[in-house]
Each structure stands twice: as C-alpha cells, then as structure tokens.
Amino acid sequence: MDLTRIELTLHVNGRPEEFAAPPNELLVERLRDGLGLTGTKVGCDTGQCGTCVVRLDGRSVKSCLILTASAAGSEVTTIEGVTTPGGELTGLQEALRQEHGTQCGFCTPGMVMALGELVETARAEGAAGGPPPTEPEIREWLTGNLCRCTGYHSVVRGVQRACAPAEPEGR
Amino acid sequence: MTTTTPAQDSQEPAGVLGRPLDSREDPGLLRGEATYVADIDLPGTVHMAILGSPVAHARILSIDTKAAEQLPGVLKAATAADFPDVMPLPCIWIPGGVESHFPPHPYGLPGARPVLTGDTVRHVGDPIAVVVAETPRQAAAALAAISVEYEPLPVVTRADHALADGAPQLHEAVPGNLNAYWTCGDKDRTDAAVAAAEVTVELDLVNQRTINSPIEPRGAVGVYDPATGEYTLHASTQGPHNHRFLLSALVLGIPFNKLRVIAPTVGGSFGTKGYLYPDMALVLLLSKALGGRPVKWVDTRTGLMNSTVQGRDHRQHVTLAGTRDGRITAVRCTSYANLGAYPSTIGPGVATALMGRSISGMYDIPAAFCEVYAAFTNTVPLGAQRGSGRAEAAFLMERLVDRYAAEIGMDPAEVRRRNLVPKEKFPYDNGLGWTYDSGDYRLNLDRALELSGYAGMPARKAAARARGKRLGVGIATYVAVCGVGPSTRMSKEGMLGGTWESANIRVHPTGEVTVTVGSASTGQSHGTVFAQVAADELGIDPGQVQVHEGDTLKAPYGQGTYGSRSYSMAAPAIALTARKIKAKLVRAGAVFLGVPEDRVVYADGGVHEVGNPDNAKTFAELAMAMWYGWGLPPEIEPALDETTHFDPPDFNYPFGTHIAVVEVDELTGETEVVDYTAVDDAGNIGNPKVVAGQIEGSIVHGLGQALMEAAEYDENGVLVSSDLESYALPRAADAPFFTLGRTVTPSPHNPLGAKGAGEIATVPPAAAVVNAVVDALSDLGVRHIDMPLTPEKVWRRLRGEAP
Ligand code: FES
Ligand code: FES
C-alpha cells in the first residue's frame, strides 16, 4: 500500500474527479494545480485573506485550510462551477457588477463564493418573509475576506442589491 | 448609517467621457476568468524558490547547496557566484537631481542591491540562494537543505539610530549609513520666521512603517528562447516597459529588444509592483541556465512581507509658527527617513522630494523648509505605498494645524480657511519646489464642512458623551502632486529615465479601433476608461474600442501605472492621438467629399460638408476608404495609425478635504469611525463610478494606517508582523459608508483637464482620524497620539498615562 498517496474522489462542480493525492496536499493545491481550476486564488499562508474560498457540500470554506484527503467524497463548488465561461452572471455577480464591486479582481472569486451562501440564505428567508441582512451583518459576514482595492463599500452595496427582494434570482 | 452621496459640481457630460459606465473588466473578474501570474502554466514549467536570510545582518562565511541539488526533482541551485556578470538592481531616483542632458549611470548611488547577496546579508529575507525544481513543493523543501554559515553583525532598524555615532554600518561605501541629506525651501527665512513668531507649536511624529499588502502576492515567470536569444518575463508588475528597460540594459546586459515583459492581470499593487526585484532577474537567468524551460516563482504572503518594498517610515520633528489671530507664518520639518537595507528603484526620491516638497499643503505660507536625512537600516527596502510622500506630508502639516488651532483657541476649520491659497494666486509657487496648477481650495473646504454637517458637531459630541462615547472630529486637507511627469522637471528631481507616456490608435477597416498604451492596469479599469477617452474624441461607441496594455511587444513605450498618473498621462496621449486621426480624416474628407478642406468638419463620428450634412461619410466608411487608400493624393498616407508621446509641461495637483468623525469608547479605548466625508478635486474625471471605487478603497487604506497597520521589527531586526495574523489590514467591519463629494478644477497641463485620482484619497485619512481622536481626548490634555491608534494605546491615554 502506497502511504504517500491517497486514492480518493471529489465531486468538483458536479463532475467526479478520481485521483491519488499526497496526504499533506491542500484542497486549494488540488483545485489549482491538479485540476487546473485557477479561479480559486491563494493570497496568504495563514487562512486570513479568503481568496481561496470554495463551497464544500454547500458551506463556504477556505480551501487553503483543508486537506484534500479530508474532503474525500464531498461536493466542491468553485467559481468555475458558478458560471460558464463568458456566460450569464448570477444574481449576486450581476449585483456586484452593477455596483463595481471589483477592481483588481484578485479577492473577487473568494468573495463571490463566500457571499453566495449569505445571499442564498437571505433570499430563502426573504421568501419566507424575513428581513434582508443588515449592513453590519453583511460586513460581519465579509470579515473573512480581505480586499485592498474597493474598501468593501461597493461589495456591501452589491450584496444589499442582491438580497433586495425585487432583484432576479440569486444562486 | 450614512449613505454614499456622489455630489457633483460638474455638468452632465456631452459625450461618453465623464459618464459612470460599467466596468467592462468586471464580468470576467467576477467569473474568475482572469489570468494572474500564478495562473500562467506554460509547457515544461519548472518552479523557483528563494532562500531569504533568516537574520537581519550578518557576514556570510559559506554557502553549500550540494545537498539541496541531490533532492528529488531539483534541477539547479544557484548563488551569487553563479551570476558574476549580473549588475546590481539600479536606483533611478537619486535625490538632488542632475542638471544635464545626459543622465549619469544609475549606479552612482552606493549601496545598490545585488540580485543575490554573496557576502553580507542586510535584512531578514535578503535573497541568498535559489532552487529550481519540478514542483513548487520540491523547490521549497530543497531550501532547507542549503547550509549557510553566518557571522552575526549588530543590527539597527531605526533611521535616527542608524545615523548615531557608533551605529552598526550597513555598506562600506556609505559611512555613517547616510544615503542622502536633502533639503528644500528657505532655511534662513523659515528659521527667522519661527524665531520671530507670536506662537510656535512643535510635534515629534512617527509616521510608522506600513506594508502595502496587495492581496495578490508578487510572482514572475521567465522564459528564454535559445533559438533567438530572446527573453520573456511575465510578471505581476505595474510598469512592464520600465522593467524591460531596467532589466535588459542595466542588470542583465542584454539588448532592449531581446526582452519582452508582459503584465498579465495584476491583483493590486499600490506602488509596490513598480519596483525591480531580484526574482525578476533570477527567473530569466535560470531559464537560460536550464536551456529555456520556463521558470516560475510565486511569492507567499510572508515572503511578500519580507521582500516587497514597504512604505512611509519617517521620524520627524516639525514646527509651525503663526500669529495669535490665526495666520500661519512658517512651517519646518526635520525628517529621518528609513530607506531600509538598500535603495529600492525609486525609494530615495519618495522619501525626499515626494514628501518634502509637499509639506505646506493647501496653505499660503510665507516661509517653509524641509530637511530629510535618508538612512540605511537592517529592514526591507523602502518604496512607494499608495499616497506615498504626500500622505506623510499631509500628516505632519494637518497635525500641526490642529495643534496650532488648539494653541490659539480657534476652530480648526477657521484656521484652515484663513490660510488656504486663494483662488486668484494660481499658478502658485509653494516655495518648496512645486507650482500648483489650479484650484479653488476654499470652495472645497466649505463643501466638505457642509456635507459633513460640521456645524452640528458640538451637539453630537454632547449626545455621544451621554452614551459613554467620546466623539471627535478631525479635518485634513491635502494637495497631492500627480502626473509624473514632465521629463525635464523629473530630471531635476533626480529621476533617471523618461517619464512621458504614449498611446497608439489603429483604426481597422471595419471601423473598429484598437488603442494601445504603455500604462498597465492593476485594477483601475483602464480598458473601460481608455475606451471612453478614445470613443469620446472620435465620436464613436466605446464598444467599438479595444484597449491593449501591459505587453511591451504590443504597446508603445510608457512608464506604467504609478502615482495616480494613468488618467492624466496615458489618457491625454490617447486623446491627442485621436485628434491626429480626426485631423487626418478632415484632410482626407476633403477628397472623399469633393470640397475644400476648410469646408469639412469632423462631428458625430464622421465628416460632413459645412452647411450640407447630406454630403457626409461615417466613421466606418472613412475607415474602409482609408484602408483601401484609393484616390488619396500623395501627401496623405493611407491607413489610420497614429502615435503620441505625451510629456506634460508640469505636474498636476489634485487636492481635497476629508472630515472624520470618530467615537472613542471610554471603557475599551476602541475607536470607531462613524462618519467620513471626502471632497476631492481630481479635475475632470473619466468615469465617476471607477473613480468613486478608487476613492473608497483609498480611504480605507488610509484608515488602516491610522488605526491598525504597522510593520514592527524586533531588536534583532526580525519583522514580527510578517503575515496577515500579525499585520492587521482593515476588514469590511472597520469602515462606515462614506459621504463623497467633488469639486472640479481642471488642470491646464493636459488636454483633458485631468488630475491624478486613484490614490489621492489615501493622503488625508490618517491625519483626519488622528486629529479626530486627539479632539475626542483633548480635554484630558492629550496633544498627540502616535499611529496606529490601537485600543490599548488610546485606553492608556484615557487613563491619563503618558505616551
Ligand atoms: S489563501 Fe486561503 S485564506 Fe488566504
Ligand atoms: S478587488 Fe483587489 S483585492 Fe479586492
């Protein structure tokens, strides 16, 4: 038995991927280097910046803090799984576009993945008559994602727009 | 909660310029499709890792790389000895300047940084050796197998300490560690004015060292083509042309035309990625050594913090003199600037001219003088950081004005109003070397006071006290020199290199247009804004205009993006080029319309005969006809392809007023910025949406310095704040929404009336916030608190502890 490699399967953006991973491999390394999904970024060494956020079984997680092996069998959604190349933007992305919520764009995929969960929850609660998230709640949610360009303002406005009940369906 | 209110004084623009068009870059970025340097994956790529010194100052007795080379996947390990012919990294901004038509060699400055350090390391992270391996992990692992023997040397990390007698010496060629002593202004007049003054106030300020921290770390991919002898560098850079010049001619000794530099999408820079770094040369050298395999290097966050230039870092003694009735008569500054271990590409100029010539800010002051001692220490080299130089200048002046207002018992807004340069005095010579182009400073200040609700602050202070909070208000005004630059003027500042900018416009037979510029975006939506400029001039749809930049093979020469210069340097070059195209179309139009040239007008994206709009040709028709070239007289060349090199007559000077309202918690010392008003004047702007985004980001960057950011070195010269756990960057919860306003005074120095915009709003926030916190604590006798205003520091002052 080869202890330097672990055979496993990940369901990435709806597709099963089978491979053998070194036990110390990080999920972000598998996604970027192993599977060529470079939309997920690496901005730090300490789990602080949030550029590597992906959805793991629906929850947003920092893929630089997770070993590939520990994600075995899970559903992983990356930014590539949210839209098709050149394709239509989701409600959240469209709202961020309208508010110019991105400048250099390096933090953006991580933000979209992290905020997707917030917007989905908000919209589900909104459909049940609940209030949209408040500005402090949005800012709190964003605490795990650093952006050095926008000052977060356009991002917060984008989320407010995406959560507003009249807007088109978010994902 | 306040909301962002874009309050504009400008009229509705006639064309597409000045309109808040959506950024065309955004959709691709939102889909995660852009290619940053770490995403480049060329066939056969190998990976480089750099061994940085673990100690701040030591002699290297020996380096042994043999064990590393035996490890799996390792292709090569190299040290300084492997590259004997490579020159050190040049410094191209040498304070003091030259009065010459022929620049001296840029190694005139002693202490130049070697690509790899062979004998002495001078800061933690100083590169000693490199390893290339098949995978990034193999390369990183191999570093641990390199053995280096060090003989430790004493360490100094503060500029003032480095200049003291008996301080550790960094460079043999620089006795006393003094890289430069630099002055501007009139010392005698200033000293006399201070001596004769009714009132003088003094402050000792620490403008702490900060780390720019673009969210994308730096990276580079080097490719050598053995067949042609040509090199290609893909790098996370804000100045591809500039790097091409510095690397080819000066460091590697290869012809300029054998090096192509490509900036892919760049994940923020804020000044730091315009510098030349050892890694850029190393990936090229190693690709050649490995027969042309692409060599890739991507930095880590901790690596970035120990190698990418850092910012600010001045210790200053500053003095302001004035009358009892609020008239400022003199300002004086003695500054100790910490250049770090080596002169970075333009660090010495940032620490001197960019700061010193700006200290009098928006004020009409009869006497001003600044002196800077720029010293080497065992820290990361100093460079530019969003708002560099101007932020340090605004900080000292605006702290002094508040101190002075308190001393004479006058409202700080009133002191400012009385001393602003009056409108009729422009162009205004500030006595320190800058001549301000245009402005209505009083209108700007009044606008900010009004938007912030300044008159209502006393009532808010009382209400806050009832809640256990101390509310403070801080004003900061600023002038930011931008539009670097007029090349001859820059030569007098000691800049070795042309600082003009260029643009090419090519009109295709289909009527579509390609604009190429030397500038390179690091997130400023150049593709959107530059298309607006060309489309506006040509009267066509911006959707017809494609913008190319960031590749030295495609674009004409240009210095790149820094100092908020793209819109006042590259955009004017585009506008002037479009005007050449129009002029040619008027001449050709005379042929196509069959009327004399003076009967032809260019309007709405085509030409027509004066008084006869039916005799007309559209832009698309003209483009096709010019491509065919049928029937053109010999004096009109076929095709539409024009280039402009734009060198402005002088800089431009955006300015503004920011007002911070803070609440300090009496129990915890925590400072919350509750309101922030910014009224900036960047002249005519191209896209208000894009500019507002940059202003918002800039303010948060400035708040970061005021409240939390600090590069801390311990007594051994180890950077303690070397990751994002120990170096605090502002997060979304650290700022409120801002109230933004605008005044508009166009610059006369470029055809668009543009002034710098991208980073200007980083200049005043630190002063505004510190002024506000000192205001909140003033009844406790607090006169100043050094940044960053951490809760602990403020809490101690609330308890009456001395600083
Ligand atoms: S790369 Fe994962 S949090 Fe920074
Ligand atoms: S857009 Fe540049 S870091 Fe967020």
> Does the structure show a pLDDT above 50 at A171?
no
Inter-chain contact A135–B701, Cβ cutoff 8 Å?
no
- B485 pLDDT band, cuts 50/70/90, is confident
Q: Identify the residue with better confidence: B78 or A129.
A: B78
Average pLDDT, stretch B621-636? 97
Whole-structure pTM value: 0.96
Q: Nearest by CB to A143, from B30, B39, B732: name it.
A: B732
How far does the CA of residue A47 sit from the closest CA of chain B (Å)?
9
State if residue B268 touches ligand 2 by the CB under 6 angstroms criterion.
yes
Beta strands in B145-258 (DSSP E): 147-152, 178-185, 199-210, 219-225, 230-235
How far does the CA of residue A34 sit from the closest CA of chain B (Å)?
12
Judging contacts by C-beta atoms under 8 Å, the chain B residues touching residue A103 are 268, 523-525, 693-694, 697
Angle, CA of B222, B240 and A154, to the nearest 5°: 110
> Does the structure show a pLDDT above 80 at B194?
yes
Asked if A64 reaches chain B (Cβ–Cβ under 8 Å), the answer is no
- How far lies B498's CA from each of B245, B495, B557, B643, in Å? 11, 8, 10, 17
pLDDT of residue B104: 60
Q: Closest Cα to residue B718, out of B172, B9, B52, B110?
A: B52
> Does the structure show a pLDDT above 80 at B107?
no
Q: B240 with B550: CB under 8 angstroms?
A: yes
Q: How far is it, in rounded angstroms, from Cα B767 to Cα B769?
A: 6
> Does the structure show a pLDDT above 60 at B9?
no
Q: B20 with B4: CB under 8 angstroms?
A: no
ipTM value: 0.95
> Does the structure show a pLDDT above 80 at B96?
no
Strand B739-742 and strand B671-681: the pairing is parallel
The least confident of B200-214, B235-249, B650-664 is B235-249
| CB-side neighbour CA atoms (13 Å) of B785 | 34
- Average pLDDT of the residues of chain A: 93
> Does the structure show a pLDDT above 70 at A62?
yes
Nearest CA in chain B to A152: B732
Q: How far is it, in rounded angstroms, from Cα B67 to Cα B660?
A: 58
Record the tokens describing residue B9, joined without a space. 């004084």
Nearest ligand to the C-alpha atom of residue A107: 2
Per-residue pLDDT tens for B216-239?
999 999 999 999 999 999 999 999
Q: B700 with B734: CB under 8 angstroms?
A: yes
Per-residue pLDDT tens for B740-794?
999 999 999 999 999 999 999 999 999 999 999 999 999 999 999 999 999 999 9
pLDDT of residue B495: 87
> Does the structure show a pLDDT above 70 at B106?
no
- Those residues with Cβ within 8 angstroms of residue A58's Cβ, 6 or more apart along the chain or in another chain: A75, A117
Average pLDDT, stretch A96-125? 95
> Does the structure show a pLDDT above 70 at B638?
yes
Judging contacts by C-beta atoms under 8 Å, the chain B residues touching residue A48 are 723-725
Q: How far is it, in rounded angstroms, from Cα B587 to Cα B133?
A: 60
pLDDT of residue A166: 58
State if residue A20 touches ligand 1 by the CB under 6 angstroms criterion.
no
Average pLDDT, stretch B543-565? 89
DSSP secondary structure code for residue A67 in this structure: B
Among A108, A112, A142, A145, say which to mutate for ligand 2: greatest number of ligand atoms within 8 Å of CB.
A108
Inter-chain contact A156–B25, Cβ cutoff 8 Å?
no
pLDDT of residue B109: 64
Q: Nearest by CB to A100, from B26, B32, B701: name it.
A: B26
- Average pLDDT of the residues of chain B: 95
Record the tokens describing residue B117, joined without a space. 């350090």
Record the tokens describing residue B691, joined without a space. 């500019």
Judging contacts by C-beta atoms under 8 Å, the chain A residues touching residue B723 are 44-46, 48
Which residue type sits at B30? L
pLDDT of residue B395: 98
> Does the structure show a pLDDT above 80 at B4?
no
Record the tokens describing residue A136, joined without a space. 């402090």
